[in-house]
Amino acid sequence: MLLEKIRDNRIERSTQGGGLGGRSMVDLFAGCGGLSLGFEHAGFVPVFVNELNHDARSTYLANRKHLIDGIPFNERRELHSADVTELDEERLTELKAHLTSLNIGLDFAKAQNLDVLAGGPPCQGYSGIGHRRAYSVDKADIPSNRLYERMAFVIEQLRPRVFLFENVKGLLSARWTSEGKKGEIWDDVYGRFKRLGSEHGYVVRWKLVYAKDYGVPQNRPRVLIVGFRKDFADKVAKHLNLDNGSEDAVLANMLPAYGETPPDLEEIFADLEDKNITQRLVSRDFSEGLVTHSYPRAASGKWQEYFRPGELSEAFAELEEQEVSKHSDKVVRKFQAMIASGGEIPEEFRTKKFAQRLLPRQWKNQGPTITACSLADDYVHYSQPRSLTVREWARLQTFPDTYKFLGKRTTGGIRRAGNPREGIFEREVPKYTQIGNAVPVKLAEAIGQHFDRLLDKAGY
């Protein structure tokens, strides 16, 4: 399979005279690994990961067996972290010494040659959906909303050539308190990273980007802050545009302007459609579960071939995570009516809950208009009366089908949302939520390729 071949090649290179076989990266708040995977596709290799949630961290590690000085990364516990607040100066000093001692080409004493540090601190408190589910608690009282400070501290200690901060669009307008000023959280967050420029020698810019511009079948706006260490920025100065007075990271060429054209949904879902599922939903035939165990047809087109590398491209190859929810009869009839009407929900099926949306087969002129979050039942399949499967959800985020997800399939209520009003901040992170929280792989890949090209021009 493609990902295994990539890793095997890196392992082979890393065992021939040492080294990683790729550029080094650290991933903080890594979730299930979408950002790392995109960077891996661009030639980067994770050397340290941080993720608080057990299931998301387990998913991340299950997919990363590349060798670090002869030992698989997922077995090197000293290179994994759960609570980012434990990464104090002492722990980071130990980490730098340990990474420098390994035969992977890193040197934190003289060369300071860690290539990239990236991370997306938890965003539930900044997003519109997160705000609806945060009860009446001010964002200033939610501990995770301050973790950008910890990320900036780790950057100060590890001094990567490049850093990347990722978060939701809602960050730009969020208030610390209900009486606060619109955008005050963004002012504090961006101000903290700008201080890395004035106090620690980084050139810092930011940009609101849209995942659909980078080959992702979603609109999915994301705020990105990027920093180049000054010695690196000086080496590639002729390739940057830093003197125009703008904070725009794309205009500065510190981020890529665009990537691939996004696929239509029928391009990425058609090979997963089991024609028996609709009949079984309507007849209430759940005797064997609503699981499709093998691909109904061979991969067709570049996108299905991307999702199904190697032997998975064949018809009837083993298919994982294609389990359909056992919707009630009323829900199935509602979804059938939506498909028949082109998306309109008949009056008899309307509820106070924000309405599901029927997905289109093709985006047409406007391009992708959705953002996949943590709830699969937000959307209805374009031709079958059901919500999306885990595998389809993962394809929306451009994860190849070779990627494994660990943990529960889904969960609900307080277990997923927590209750900040009662001081309950911990959340279960089942597969749907892990995927919905991830950085889209193709977005990360485009950014990683851009960084790789500039690092190459700098002679690194």
Which tokens sit at 290?
A: 């609503």
Neighbours of 340 (CB within 10 A): 11
**How buried is 307 (Cβ within 10 angstroms: 0-12 exposed, 13-18 middle, 19+ buried)?**
buried
Which tokens sit at 392?
A: 């389809």
Which tokens sit at 294?
A: 């093998």
Contacts of 33 (CB under 8 A, 6+ apart): 27, 59, 60, 63, 64, 403, 438
Helix/strand/coil percent split, the chain, to 5: 45, 15, 45
Reference 41, options 405, 309, 437, 433; nearest CA is 309
**How buried is 362 (Cβ within 10 angstroms: 0-12 exposed, 13-18 middle, 19+ buried)?**
exposed
CA pair distance 165, 254, nearest whole angstrom: 13
Task: Respond yes or no: is residue 373 known to be catalytic.
Answer: no
CA pair distance 78, 238, nearest whole angstrom: 40
CA pair distance 109, 55, nearest whole angstrom: 34
| Active-site residue, from 114, 123, 312, 439 | 123
Active site residues: 123
